[in-house]
Structure 1
């Protein structure tokens, strides 16, 4: 039963799904937009113009843009099990995104993740508390190259969860690996992917069918499509495919499809992106896997501190 409970955590505890994103005018508009955000924070409470909203939307669509963000996201997921019962999980993530000028042409993005999770599964009562924490560090260009924004870096996850069963894959293990960001930028459409791989290091609580210690070996692929329907509004999706290489056959894969909408508004003096997305899983673990999910997110834009 413990192994079934561990599968719940694949979706909730991978804090790797916050980037979704686009722009061809990042560099040319950077200084102006930064000044706009700073002005909003220092007392100018007028509404953003249509042009400023469109510009902000483009910047928010670029995971390597020079913005500071307070990314908050809540994922509600329903699971189905072989016993015929349904189970639910809720994961709330806080991910401050910080951009630093490394050179004239490149930005360094740091995105630490803290999360609170509440989960249930066959054979276990609902557990709630602090989940694993992580850090993504990525380096990339400030402008697109032939329409593409390409970046790379290192991703990591640390077993800070309150309970062993709430850690990534239930392994209670540190995991690190490479990260790749590749997005095609357009005035109306944006598409691409954010790919991260996690390999466990150190001791793991998991064992394979032969009783041998089993390290985390997990790939997360966030595939992105956005279509602009207004200066500040877009429809699209950015779900996370997950591949557990320790499993066999189709049980390796969790594949969601869905749709969502987001828009930019102001709350007080802060420009904020608000959005909702809904997903259905077309492939999952037969014994215990996600069935559908609802994601709600809010992303305030704040001035760069340094």
Structure 2
């Protein structure tokens, strides 16, 4: 059954990408000049951009691990991450970026083994940061990151509220850009829901999440600009749990993909498809393969 589920999800993702590609080609020929789409694509390489973005990352994840049944588990989550920068000066912007996950299907492990959670809200995270673009096209962003136990079922709920600093460094180039985001978060409250099954994010925690949390995490990214608003890109996320047992601390994928900016009517939309392979993942239960389809309309700022 899991084999058919995996094939179905991958087929749906492939069909979605093919459909958007066809629509993109039609939109390019009828809606707007290609050079305008290229301009938007290049501007979106800048993490300190003043363009508004309403991103919908859709993630399919296949898991592995030493826990019984771990290697036959799959998950599907639809995220929503709006970014509406507030310009403070010509080169300085304020960002408030929540990440809201909706789990369509998510494996959790309890005393009776794995079970699949249905459609449920996940744990919301957010960052508040200030970014500056320097004359050398070097970008620095400094802020605060937090995660909150907002899941609608105990099986998915985080054991802690976490909070900590965040730093991003990036360099824009003639061919694209590269960058690294790092944050570190500590638990700021007593753990809750410790008798519930644990989702993959918290499988690593010792004593079922009853200890204080200390996690260093982030994202690396690169973008190579191509013609006609196409780009080669990768934006994998990684994490290191300092409180986890040996072999269950690091989650690190290598990833690559393609993206394109097109217009649907007058609305610019960035569409990307990426594949991540985890070279390091928690031994007991962690991700092995991840496919991310992201649809991100580019919108005018409301201010």
Report the secondary structure of 2:73's partner residue: strand
**Which residue does the alignment assign to 1:31?**
none
1:137 alignment partner in structure 2: 128
Match of 1:240 among 220, 237, 242: 237
TM-score by length of 2: 0.79
| C-alpha separation in 1, matches of 2:108 and 2:153 | 14
Q: Is the 8 A contact 1:150 1:182 kept in 2?
A: yes
Q: 2:185 aligns with which of 198, 219, 231?
A: 198
Give 3-state SS (helix, strand or coil) of 2:248's partner.
helix
Q: 1:248 to 1:268 in 2, by over 3 A?
A: same
1:243 Cα offset (Å): 0.7
Q: CA deviation digits over 1:255-290, x for unaligned, max 9?
A: 111210000001122100000001111111111111
Secondary structure of residue in 1 paired with 2:43: helix
Counterpart Cα distance in 1 of 2:183 and 2:208:
28
The answer to whether the aligner puts 1:189 opposite 2:170 as a matched pair is: no
- 3-state SS, counterpart of residue 249 of structure 1: coil
CA distance in 2, matches of 1:61, 1:189: 7
SS at match of 1:297: strand
What corresponds to 1:177 in structure 2?
164
Decide whether the 8 Å contact of 1:144 with 1:185 is kept in 2: no
Q: 2:276 aligns with which of 276, 279, 286?
A: 279
**3-state SS of the aligned residue for 2:143?**
strand
| Superposed CA offset, 1:182-209 (max 9, x none) | 1110121311111222211111135976
Query: In the TM superposition, what whole-angstrom CA distance separates every residue of 1:153-193 from its partner, at most 9, and x where no partner exists?
Result: 111111110122213xx41x211111111111012131111
Cα distance in 1 for partners of 2:90, 2:262 equals 31
- Measure the CA separation in 1 of the matches of 2:61 and 2:138: 32
Residues in 2 aligned to 1:81 and 1:250: alpha-carbon distance in whole angstroms: 11
Conserved in 1, the CA contact under 8 Å of 2:85 and 2:96?
A: yes
Alpha-carbon contact 2:91-2:134 (below 8 Å) kept: no
Q: Normalising to structure 1: TM-score of the pair?
A: 0.78
User: Matches of residues 60-71 of structure 1 in structure 2 within 5 Å?
Assistant: 60-71=44-55
Equivalent pair of 1:87/1:121 in contact (CA under 8 Å): no
1:38 equivalent in structure 2: none
Q: Quote the RMSD (CA, aligned, Å).
A: 2.2
Distance 1:189 1:162, change over 3 A: same
**Alignment gaps of 5+ in structure 2:** 1-28, 196-204
Instruction: Please give the residue correspondences for 1:250-265 in structure 2 after superposition, counting only pairs within 5 Å.
Output: 250-265=247-262
- Indicate the SS of the match to 1:63: coil
Match of 2:13 in 1: none
Q: Quote the residue 1:21 is aligned against.
A: none
Alignment length (residue pairs): 258
Give how far 1:248 is off: 3.4
Alignment of 1:91 with 2:71, yes or no, is no
CA deviation after TM superposition for structure 1 residue 105, in Å: 3.2
**In structure 1, what is the Cα distance between the partners aligned to 2:101 and 2:299?**
21
Partner of residue 95, structure 2: 109
